[in-house]
């Protein structure tokens, strides 16, 4: 992997981690404030952004999730490392 590709790989993973953090926090908040419409709108915006970033990552670097949650190109990509959880 060249430097530019490597930098993009880590940038997208860091962005996914940040989005996941926000989504977990908003989930916890919404569990106790289910009628907070602005918070729910914010959750949905971040969920949509996460889907977009995850799709961009998977197009360039392969699947993020197993068990049918992500597609794999040919050849089977789960045999190629590093896997997202190893970084």
pLDDT tens-digit readout, 37-83: 999 999 999 999 999 999 999 999 888 877 665 665 666 665 566 66
Has residue 31 got a pLDDT over 70?
Answer: yes
Query: What CA–CA distance (Å, rounded) separates 73 from 63?
Result: 9
Contact between 72 and 78 under an 8 Å Cβ cutoff? The reply is yes
Query: What CA–CA distance (Å, rounded) separates 8 from 45?
Result: 23
Q: What is the pLDDT of residue 41?
A: 95
Q: What is the pLDDT of residue 26?
A: 93
Contact between 39 and 59 under an 8 Å Cβ cutoff? The reply is no
Contact between 65 and 38 under an 8 Å Cβ cutoff? The reply is no
Q: What is the pLDDT of residue 2?
A: 80
């Amino acid at each position: 992997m060249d430097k530019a590709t490597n930098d993009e790989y880590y940038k997208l993973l860091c962005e996914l981690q940040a989005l996941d953090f926000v989504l977990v926090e908003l989930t916890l908040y919404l569990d106790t404030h289910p009628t907070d419409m602005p918070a729910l709108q914010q959750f949905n915006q971040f969920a949509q952004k996460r889907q977009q970033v995850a799709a961009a990552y998977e197009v360039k670097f392969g699947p993020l999730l197993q068990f049918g949650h992500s597609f794999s190109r040919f050849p089977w990509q789960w045999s190629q490392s590093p896997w997202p959880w190893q970084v």
